[in-house]
Structure formats: C-alpha cells, structure tokens
Chains A and B, each alone.
Chain A
Amino acid sequence: MPQMWNITLRVYRQKENEAPHFDNIDVQVKPDEYVLDAVERAWAFHDATICFRHACHHSTCGACGMRVNGVEKLTCITLIRDVVHDGGTLKVEPLRNFPVVSDLAVDMGHFYRKMERVSARPIAPVAEAEIENPPSKWDPDAERAQYLRLSDCIECGLCISACPVMATTPEYLGPAPLAAAQDNGIQRKPELLSVVDCEDGVWRCHSAFECTAVCPSFVDPARRIMDLRKQVVSARLGKLFGKA
C-alpha cells in the first residue's frame, strides 16, 4: 500500500461575473505524485467545475503553469512532497499578469502574440544550441549539426507571471519574448531591433532575475535579456558608424 498523505488543496476560484475566492478541498495524495495530479484528483472526485489547463503531463506543452504556494511552477513536474507536508495546505492559483478565463486557466493570447512579434522559433538548428561543455568531437559543420531541435522555451508563461516589471507595465514585451528575440539574434533578424529597442522592450527589464528563477526549461531568460542588450548596443553602434 503506497504511502498516502491527507492535504487540503486551496484552489483559487473565479467564474465569469463572480468574485474571486478560494475553495478548500481535502484530498488524499501520494507524496511522490505531482501537484497537477492533486488538482486532477480534486476535479475528478470532488468538484468537476474546477477549470485548469493541462495536456502532456511531462513538461513539454507548458500548459499547466500555476502559482503553487505563491510561486510559479509547472505543476506536472512539481512533486507534492517538495511543496507541502502530510496534513498541510497546498495553495494553487492562476498565473499572474494574465487575464483569468476561469479558475486556474488564464488567457495566454496576448503573450503568444508577443512571441509572434519577435518571430519566436519553435525549432532551431542543433548547431546553434547553447551546450555547456560540448563533447570534444563536436563539429558544428558536421552532417548531424544540420538536424533541428525543439527550442528550450515551452511558452508556459511562468516567467511572465514572476516578472515584477510585467506586474507594473503590461505593455512590456516580457522575459520569454525577449529571450526568443535573443535566440533569433539581431544580426540574423535586423528587423527585431525596432521591436526590442524601445520603451517596452529590452531596456524595461529591471534585473530582478525572477524569470530565470522560475523557468522550468533552463531558458535563462534574464541572461538572454542582458545579452540582447549587448546585441542592441552593438547594432546601434554599427549603424552609427555605418557598419550596418
């Protein structure tokens, strides 16, 4: 018999024209299950009106991002034992800085449009992957380097929710779109310069590094934003001295 924990799931609820409130739902969970499993148990056995987004259950689709005890998590890979104890309360809320559609589900449309503005690449050549300590035989010109790989960013929106600047300036492009712009590179896509080098672009970031702290996919948006600034300065200086 696997070990079972009794926890209280404190779920954010908000339907159309309804004031936001929390529902406390007692559920039995296995500590080595994931937070998404607990939400599904609550939905399946207690209240089928709980609305939440989920799909792949293995951190690829980026749909199940929520705030777990106040911190952004991809709930399909967040172990219950890491965020609550037996008899404890687990609070789940929708992501911040997105309009709530219903309960834990948010409208990601505005965010996806920003990703389109910077021509975010869903796939990129393997040769361009940032690999720490590449093997000594790594040869970017080799045939294998012609293969494509999925981009690291799964567009889960956790970085947008965690960013304190997004909370004060909704027009700000935000960490994931700026990281995607860096991934493209100003040199490769010069048209991105005007998109990111503006009031609500790369200079709006205030170096809180919260995006990197919550990113479940090792995109490291903060570092990429800093690198994008260097790219922007370099491109502007190049234009100034006629090298563009």
Chain B
Amino acid sequence: MPIRRDIGSWAFALNRLTAIGLTIYLFLHLIVLGRLAQGPGAYDQFLALTENPLIKLGEWAVVAAAILHGLNGIRIILTSFGVGVTRQKQLFYGFMLVALFIILVFTAKMY
C-alpha cells in the first residue's frame, strides 16, 4: 500500500489492482463462455448461479473496476499528451468523482 505517498501512487495502485482484477475476470469469462460448447443446458445451469448474491457482488465489482480503470486510463492518456499536466491531481479527483457517480447509478439499477 502506498502509505504516505502522493495521490499519484494511489492512482497507480488503483490502476494496477483493477487491471489485475479485470484480467482475472477475462479468463473466468472465457471459461464460462466455453460452457456454451457443452450445450444450452450446461450454460443455463451456470446462468442460474448469477442469482447468487456473491456472484452478483462479483459482477458489480467487475463493472466498478472497469469504470475506475477506464476513467483513470483517460487521465493517463490526457496527461501523456500534455493535457492537465499541472493539474493532474485535480484531474484524478475529478475522474474519480465521475466514476463514483456512475458506480452509484449502476448500483442503484443493479439492486
């Protein structure tokens, strides 16, 4: 954990953690899609699992991670090309506020 570090290290850690989470999800997703090859019955059986609260929480986490990672990535792209370099902290806080808002809206719609 980037204790006592500047906000940039937290942004870096957030991007790495969400990236690892999304990569793991991608593999799980491909495994699940592989069940399609075993016929509709096997796939439907898996889909029934999505009503499980833990799986639902996992789905929520995937969407939240994608939003955080995506918006943080836009910040990096902008600063990479000279946009907001001197205001990078505000840029990060701004994008994270937008992310929080989207996540809250998504949470309300999901539950």
Contacts and interface: CB of A to CB of B under 8 A. Distances in A.
Nearest to A206: B12
B13 A207 contact: no
A179 B86 CA distance: 16
Chain A contact residues, majority secondary structure: helix
Interface in A4-50: none
A230 B78 CA distance: 12
Contact of A208 (B3, B9, B80, B82): B9
Interface residues of A, number: 19
Contacts of B82: 226-227, 230
Contacts of A208: 6, 8-9, 11-12
B5 interface: yes
B79 A207 contact: yes
Query: Closest 10 interchain pairs by CB?
Result: A208-B8, A209-B8, A208-B12, A213-B6, A70-B4, A164-B12, A207-B76, A207-B79, A226-B85, A223-B85
Interface of A: 69-71, 162, 164-165, 206-210, 213, 222-223, 226-227, 229-230, 233
Given A164-B2, A165-B12, A207-B80, 16 more contacts: A71-B5, A162-B5, A164-B12, A206-B15, A207-B8, A207-B12, A207-B79, A208-B6, A209-B88, A209-B89, A210-B5, A210-B6, A223-B86, A227-B82, A230-B82, A233-B81
